[in-house]
A and B are shown apart, each in its own frame.
Chain A
Amino acid sequence: MRKTGSGLQIDENFPLTKGALLLGFVFLLLLPVVARYSDYVLQVFTHALLLATLALAWNILGISGSISLGHAAFFGVGAYGSVLLSLELGISPWFTIPLGGLVATGFAVITALFCLRLRGGYFALATLAFVEIPKVITDNWDSLTRGSLGLLGLPGLPTLSLGSYHFDISASPVASYYFVLSYALLLICLVALIFRSNLGLALHAVRQEEAAAEAVGIQVQRYRLLSLLLSAFFTGIGGACYAHLIRYVEPSLVYGLHFSAIPMIFAICGGRFTVLGPPLAALVLYPIDQFIFHPLLPAGHEFLYGAIIILAILFMPSGFWGRLGKGHLVSAKTGSIE
């Protein structure tokens, strides 16, 4: 699998991949043209893209070997952080969204203080418990958050004008779609960069053989912390985008199991440790769930995710993308990283 040159490369043993990726990209780019008369289709894909970014963010922690069951905490803290900053201080959402990411990172520091010494299942359970902390605070701090009533009519994202074109991001489904699509593409590039960098290499090493990683000079806890903070930051940004796009937050919504479990399911099904697996799973599975299973079983359609994760773990533990095995991004200079 000798590679030459540098930059991201798709393995040549799987010739369809490059073409398929390009096709998928064109499909995503042109979707609003095709689906312009159906806001529903666009909304589903917008949410799928948002979930794709969450799966990407979850996976930054995932490659270090830690499984988080509590990313909804970062999602919710990011959402409330951004929303309250824009409501109370009147700052534009353009600035409060990254600030929301920073607030989520702040909460991740607190989580890390208590959870990072744990490993495996213990870490996972601790993160699950940690979702309750911001949720209970948000639920009860009525004067600031209006508690479980939630906050309605939030400031949306302002209109972007480009010559004679106006993109009213929050009001127009097409503009919302392109906004989330741009963020998703940006995050894919960032995550690919992280995976290809020595930071990514260190995280892979920590997961595969912690003792050996320590022995070659990797500061294991520092890298685990860094991956948690990065993961929380982008999850927080995801939460903030979500809140400003739907212009509504409520504790049971943004701290819900949905935002802890679904990104993890997509990451595991798509292929943990790969860059494109998690977002791809989000873009395939969520629309299937919404278009096919939701009409059939309005109450229990999410059983699909349960079934899929069981099947994935039994038959393709490295995920769809990992299973293809050849579609992954490879390190150009030193052969393959999984």
Chain B
Amino acid sequence: MSLLKLEALSKRFGDCWALKEIDFSINEGEIVGLVGPNGAGKTTLVNLITGRHRPTSGRILFADQEITACKPHEIRRLGISRTFQSSRPFAKMTTLENVVLGRIFSKEFQLFTRQTDIDTAEQLLELVGIAHKARLPASDLTLSEQRRLDLARALANQPRLLLLDEVAAGFSPLAVKQAVELVRRVRQRGVTLCIVDHFLTLSLRVSDRLLALDHGEKVAEGRPQEVMRNRKVIRAYLGTRREEN
């Protein structure tokens, strides 16, 4: 069953079509890699799904409900979370507070934080492996720890769909290996994942399917190995050979 469905989704910024007529769907329980070179429209797609930008045309359906015109906080409440390309922790709050924030504003307003929310946040920090930094300011974390924090914060409202924007960019091979394990652990919790991945560091290892974009258009979709053999995808990443011109 498809959890997220994009129908002829387009976004124009001024004269530039960032996305053109994208049709795609993500099934419940899947891990989908969203790949493509710089400027392909990957992050724009994430911004459209999460309500940060409004599509120029087309529709977005989440669990058979139209969410095209929903605001970011409504989408968060429906169960779609995201992380950011450059991780954006609340730098002057503690790591724990960051995760608590991910939880308390995705439901009805409470004036004060409850102990149960703090306990859940601590468990999530345990899951992503930075529980020992819970009471340090988020600005004290390393890059990979900040990404983990971003992930814990995104998981805090128990999302059904999680959009990871370049979660492993700039990671060492060891950190990538850990990230792969982490993504699998997240999937085991019943979360459907969409991984934006320019360099395919993660998506080739964990994805069930890939969606390849170039210049705002869908160039390929399917099993990772098939997509990687697709001529259009290779051309988008590497350019064309001289003799082909």
| B is a partner of A | yes
**A interface residues, Cβ below 8 angstroms from B:** 1-2, 196-199, 201-202, 204-205, 208-209, 211-219, 331, 333-338
**Which one of B72, B111, B134, B154 lies within 8 Å of A198 (CB-CB)?**
B111
Tally A-B pairs: CB < 8 A.
100
User: Could you tell me if B105 and A197 are in contact, using CB atoms closer than 8 angstroms?
Assistant: no
Which residues does chain B contribute within 8 Å of A216, judged by CB atoms? 76, 101-102, 105-106, 153, 156-157
User: Could you tell me if B100 and A215 are in contact, using CB atoms closer than 8 angstroms?
Assistant: no
Q: Once the chains are docked, how many angstroms separate the CA of A211 from the CA of B50?
A: 11
Nearest A-chain residue to B150, judged by Cβ: A212
User: Could you tell me if B91 and A208 are in contact, using CB atoms closer than 8 angstroms?
Assistant: yes
User: Could you tell me if A209 and B96 are in contact, using CB atoms closer than 8 angstroms?
Assistant: no
- B24-32, B81-89, B223-231, B234-242 - the one binding chain A: B81-89
User: Could you tell me if B110 and A198 are in contact, using CB atoms closer than 8 angstroms?
Assistant: yes
Q: Once the chains are docked, how many angstroms separate the CA of A337 from the CA of B149?
A: 17
Which residues does chain A contribute within 8 Å of B71, judged by CB atoms? 219
**Which one of B50, B91, B93, B135 lies within 8 Å of A2 (CB-CB)?**
B135
Nearest A-chain residue to B112, judged by Cβ: A197
Which residues does chain B contribute within 8 Å of A2, judged by CB atoms? 135
Q: Once the chains are docked, how many angstroms separate the CA of A216 from the CA of B156?
A: 9
With A333-B118, A336-B94 in contact, do A214 and B110 touch (Cβ < 8 Å)? no
Q: Any chain A CB within 8 A of the CB of B232? A: no
Nearest A-chain residue to B121, judged by Cβ: A334
Which residues does chain B contribute within 8 Å of A336, judged by CB atoms? 94, 137
With A197-B111, A334-B113, A335-B134 in contact, do A217 and B94 touch (Cβ < 8 Å)? no
**Which one of B73, B91, B115, B135 lies within 8 Å of A217 (CB-CB)?**
B73
Which residues does chain A contribute within 8 Å of B72, judged by CB atoms? 214-215, 217
Q: Once the chains are docked, how many angstroms separate the CA of A211 from the CA of B84?
A: 9
**Which one of A201, A335, A338 lies within 8 Å of B101 (CB-CB)?**
A201
User: Could you tell me if B92 and A333 are in contact, using CB atoms closer than 8 angstroms?
Assistant: no
Q: Any chain A CB within 8 A of the CB of B97? A: yes
User: Could you tell me if B76 and A215 are in contact, using CB atoms closer than 8 angstroms?
Assistant: yes
**Which one of A204, A213, A333 lies within 8 Å of B115 (CB-CB)?**
A333
With A209-B89, A214-B73, A219-B73 in contact, do A335 and B135 touch (Cβ < 8 Å)? yes
Q: Which residue of A196, A209, A331 has the most chain B CB atoms within 10 A of its CB atom?
A: A209
Which residues does chain B contribute within 8 Å of A337, judged by CB atoms? 92-93, 97
Pairs across A and B, CB under 8 Å, 22 listed: A198-B105, A198-B112, A201-B93, A201-B113, A204-B90, A204-B92, A208-B91, A209-B89, A211-B88, A212-B153, A215-B72, A217-B73, A217-B77, A219-B73, A334-B96, A334-B135, A335-B96, A335-B97, A335-B136, A336-B94, A336-B137, A337-B97
Which residues does chain B contribute within 8 Å of A196, judged by CB atoms? 112
Q: Any chain A CB within 8 A of the CB of B141? A: no
With A2-B135, A334-B97 in contact, do A198 and B113 touch (Cβ < 8 Å)? yes
